Amino acid sequence: MKIVLVGQHNSGKSMVFSRLTGIDTIVSNYSGTSVEITQGMMKVNGLSFELLDTPGIYSLAWADGPSDLTRRAIMDLRDDDLIINVVDAGNLVRNLALTLELLELNLPMIVLLNQVDVAQSHHLVIDHQKLSEYLGVPVIPFSAQTGEGVADLHAVISKGSRLQPGSSPRRFLITSDMAACPCSPNCSGCPMGETASCSEQPVLDYYQQARCLAKQVILRSDNRPRGLQVLQDFLDKTRMGSLALLLLGLLGFYLLLSFIGWSEEVIVSLFAPIQDLIARIISTIVPSGFWHTVLSKGISEGIVVPFSLVMPAMLMVSFLISIIEDIGLLPRYAVLLDRVGNLFGVSGQAVIPLSLGFGCRTPAVVATRILGSEGQRFIVIALLSIVIPCAGTIGMLSSTIVAFDAYVPVIILSMLAVFLLLGWVLKKLYGENEDRIYELPPLRMPQAANVAKKIRLRFQGFFTEVLPLLLVLSVAVRIIIESGVLNRLHNLGSLTYTLFGLPPEAVIGVLLTIIQRYLAPLVILNLSLDPRQATIAITMIALSVPCLPVVVMTIREMGVKAVVKIVGVGFAVSLSIGFILNLVLPAIGG
Amino acid sequence: MQEKLTTAEKRVPLTRVPAGKKVKVTELPMGGGSRGRLAGMGIVPGVEIKLILAHPLKGPIVVELDGNTVAIGHNLARRIMVDEQ
């Protein structure tokens, strides 16, 4: 027997999935967190069941994008499989509309009245027994947060009876509750649905019935706004709210940058004795000479650089993004930035993958699935790959900027200009005037445990990927520098100086970005560049081709052709920006 | 639409509705995925929604339905016709 979790967007399926299987999944407070089906095992009284977590779905009739995966998973179910319909107790009408639709499939089903703990704190009381009678399937009050209802669910599953819907609920409602319903589901007789087309008529019916049903099973509710609701009303319903969001965003960026600057100093000083120790150990093992220099410099840089430059940025960005996600602010920023998105032919929704990209671009590429079309996804992935600096990159870039006293405004302005220009060009090529719809979920207090889990999931790449890679490459870079290979490039010097005003070694550093963008500064830091040269080199690094993990992910998501295009554009952008800056920079004041 | 409107009702695009007003949806733009997404949220002809806020500079229009808040892009909202009551 297979069990599938099905529910409306943001009803808490992934949280239920985590609770039932013990598998860590990323949960957030916005529609479209899950874009894939996740598989797990659920144990009930010693028996194992396969449990599927699916992307949210509004209605089986209107499933597109990730929701279509859900629709197909449901269509694949056999008669002995089970649907667990996750219903958000705080959003009963919309959730029950889907429940009514699912019941028509006549498959065994259990309704989980999820987030009852939240509902109770809002003084919302739902008669679940009455709801169960109306629907003809078991209804279990549940909280993925506290674990309430897990035992009840296990008991119902192991009993196995009464899961099959007894009678079609539509018929049931029509015959027994006509008086309570303001609308009959019959097209011609319905005064409210007279202009609905035939395919939408069922939706109108489900919603009308869900409204009736909700009215009958909600025993007590208190709509007075309090706590977070007050804040939410301010953010969503007033113009000052938009301003507040904007200021909050700026404050977040300011906090991030000052944290990175502050932590670097602290960590570097903390690591000084460790570096000494490493140097001494290497001195005792390796006699002085070529390898001694390579190892002592390479290893100590390879350890300090990731910890002092990459780690703080990765941690802080993971923290900020997790908090913003969990409170439910991301969709609000999407609304705020909708007008900016119009410039690029993408929806404000693009703010979600783009802001995730400031953490790490690899998962951000996957998150582009919430966008409406392939064209939009390509635009956003291209912008992500070429322009958006990830946490690691931000750390490396800012340290390089400080080391060479490079011109920060020039770098930031170049990045902004490329972002706008590239976005505009991509819009002309791939953009479409797609219609935008944003759901604004209720604000929630972020849960410390969940935030910690997300930071851990986002940060674990540091030890498995960033640290080893930087260590190995730091030694490799040292070998190249100490071997004097770079000196032999000097006959290329005239070419690179004419084009970019840079020594050939720096151009090699730029080319290294293909492996991982934050590696390139390793080379740059070992060169002697003047501020103007450093500015050009750093800008070229900041605006270039995607790193390897992003390339791999993009092939998976969009195919090889898209990656070839993006890498091509990335090279072109990087070389052009270097060329242009070399032409204009002296005029500005270099 | 050839329905007779009562004198109290006026058919306008959603973008012309003042904040705080309740309106009945009468027409959605044909074709495209947006019609389906709106329908999935219960926004179909015949349903009553409340206009909360129109963001300036052709920004999204925020509406409320069954306690859910949804922001609709200006370009789409322009093509949603509603009856003011």
Q: Same domain for A202 and A294?
A: no
Residues 65-84 of B with CB under 8 A from A: 66-73, 75-76
Whether the predicted interface score ipTM is above 0.90: no
Q: Picking from A155-159, A268-272, A551-555, B15-19, which range would have the lowest pLDDT averaged per residue?
A: A551-555
CATH of the domain at A216: 3.40.50.300
Closest CA to A352 of A436, A433, A432: A436
The parent domain of residue B56 ranges over 10-84
CATH of the domain at B52: 2.30.30.90
Sign of the torsion angle spanned by Cα atoms A471, A473, A477, A482: positive
Mutation target among A205, A338, A349 for the B interface, most CBs of B within 10 A: A338
More confident residue, A220 or A590: A220
Q: Same domain for A243 and A143?
A: no
- To the nearest 10 degrees (0 to 180), the angle between helices A169-176 and A201-217 is 70
Q: Same domain for A269 and A135?
A: no
The 10s digit of each residue's pLDDT in A443-497 is: 888 888 888 888 887 777 778 877 887 788 778 878 877 887 767 776 777 888 8
Q: Same domain for A182 and A263?
A: no
- DSSP annotation of A508: H
What count of other Cβ atoms lies within 10 Å of the Cβ of residue A493?
Answer: 14
Report the domain count for chain A: 2
In a domain, A452, yes or no: no
In a domain, B55, yes or no: yes
In a domain, A234, yes or no: no
| pLDDT grade for B64, boundaries at 50, 70 and 90 | very high
* 3-state DSSP assignment of residue A218: strand
φ/ψ of residue A131, rounded to 5: -60, -40
In a domain, A447, yes or no: no
Q: Same domain for A207 and A266?
A: no
In a domain, B4, yes or no: no
Contact indicator for A525, A478 with CB cutoff of 8 Å:
no
Closest alpha carbon within chain A to B47: A192
- DSSP annotation of A350: G
The parent domain of residue A264 ranges over 239-434+458-588
In a domain, A116, yes or no: yes
Q: Same domain for A249 and A116?
A: no
Sign of the torsion angle spanned by Cα atoms A481, A482, A483, A487: positive
In a domain, B57, yes or no: yes
φ/ψ of residue A262, rounded to 5: -65, -45
CA distance B85 to chain A (A): 14
User: What are B62's strand-pairing partners?
Assistant: B53, B71
Q: Same domain for A129 and A258?
A: no
CA distance B23 to chain A (A): 13
In a domain, A582, yes or no: yes
| Cβ-Cβ contacts under 8 Å for A4 (sequence gap 6 or more) | A51, A52, A54, A73, A74, A77, A81, A82, A83, A84
Contact indicator for A114, A143 with CB cutoff of 8 Å:
yes
In a domain, B22, yes or no: yes
CA distance B13 to chain A (A): 15
Q: Is the pLDDT of residue A584 over 80?
A: yes
Please identify, among A192, A220, A248, the residue that sits at the C-terminal boundary of a domain.
A220
Closest alpha carbon within chain A to B71: A438
In a domain, A448, yes or no: no
Q: Does B53 touch chain A (CB under 8 A)?
A: yes
The 10s digit of each residue's pLDDT in A21-37 is: 888 776 777 776 777 88
Q: Same domain for A272 and A403?
A: yes
B42:A62 CB<8 A: no
Best-predicted range by mean pLDDT among A306-315, A351-360, A378-387?
A: A378-387
- Number of alpha helices (DSSP H) and beta strands (DSSP E) in chain A: 29, 9
Contact indicator for A341, A380 with CB cutoff of 8 Å:
no
What are the C-alpha distances in Å from A423 to residues A380, A419, A543, B75? 9, 6, 13, 20
In a domain, B1, yes or no: no
A196:B70 CB<8 A: no
| CB under 8 A, 24+ apart: contacts of A582-588 | A582/A499, A582/A500, A582/A501, A582/A502, A582/A536, A585/A410, A585/A501, A585/A532, A585/A535, A585/A536, A586/A532, A588/A410
In a domain, B29, yes or no: yes
In a domain, B2, yes or no: no
A203:B59 CB<8 A: no
Report the domain count for chain B: 1
In a domain, A519, yes or no: yes
On chain A, the residues whose CB falls within 8 A of the CB of B58 are 339, 342
> Distance (Å, rounded) from C-alpha A408 to C-alpha A416?
12
